[in-house]
């Protein structure tokens, strides 16, 4: 079983739609959680950290469910510019500073 699993998609949604991605992780000793965004042929960039209490940044909301070992990302009022691959990222206790990446979920926002 992969340490971090994501549905690869693609998720094709119309502009203005609300879309949600889930990500599951296998190690219950996971410590830190992030969502990264990666545009085609570009490097990943940190979108937001995910805290136990959840957090919101504009149209983006991230949630953590430790009991079920998943994190989620909700995007409201999707824009064409949101089209990208979204990477779920986790650090594990005993894993030092290393981040473990999911393979990503592709989002395509269409007119």
Binding site for another protein (CB under 8 A): 8, 31-32, 34, 36, 42-46, 49, 87, 89, 91, 96-104
**Least spacing, CB of residue 45 vs another protein, in Å:** 7
Beta bridge partners, 110, equal 14
Which residue is associated with the tokens 């990943």? 44
Closer CB to another protein, residue 17 or residue 69? 69
**CA proximity to 22, closest of 85, 76, 70:** 70
Closer CB to another protein, residue 53 or residue 111? 53
User: What's the chain's length in residues?
Assistant: 111
Pair of tokens at residue 42: 């570009």
**Least spacing, CB of residue 17 vs another protein, in Å:** 26
**Least spacing, CB of residue 80 vs another protein, in Å:** 23
Please give the Cα distance from 88 to 86 (Å, whole number). Answer: 7
Closer CB to another protein, residue 48 or residue 75? 48
Pair of tokens at residue 105: 């979920």
């Amino acid at each position: 079983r992969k340490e971090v699993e994501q549905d690869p998609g693609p998720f094709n949604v119309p502009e203005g739609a609300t879309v949600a991605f889930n990500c599951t992780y296998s190690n219950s000793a996971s410590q830190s959680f992030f969502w990264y965004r990666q545009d085609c042929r570009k490097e990943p960039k940190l979108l937001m950290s995910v805290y136990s209490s959840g957090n919101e940044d504009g149209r983006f909301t991230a949630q953590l469910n430790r009991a079920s070992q998943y994190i989620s990302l909700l995007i409201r009022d999707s824009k064409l510019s949101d089209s990208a691959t979204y990477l779920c990222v986790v650090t594990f206790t005993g894993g030092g500073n290393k981040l473990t990446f999911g393979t990503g979920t592709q989002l395509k926002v269409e007119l």
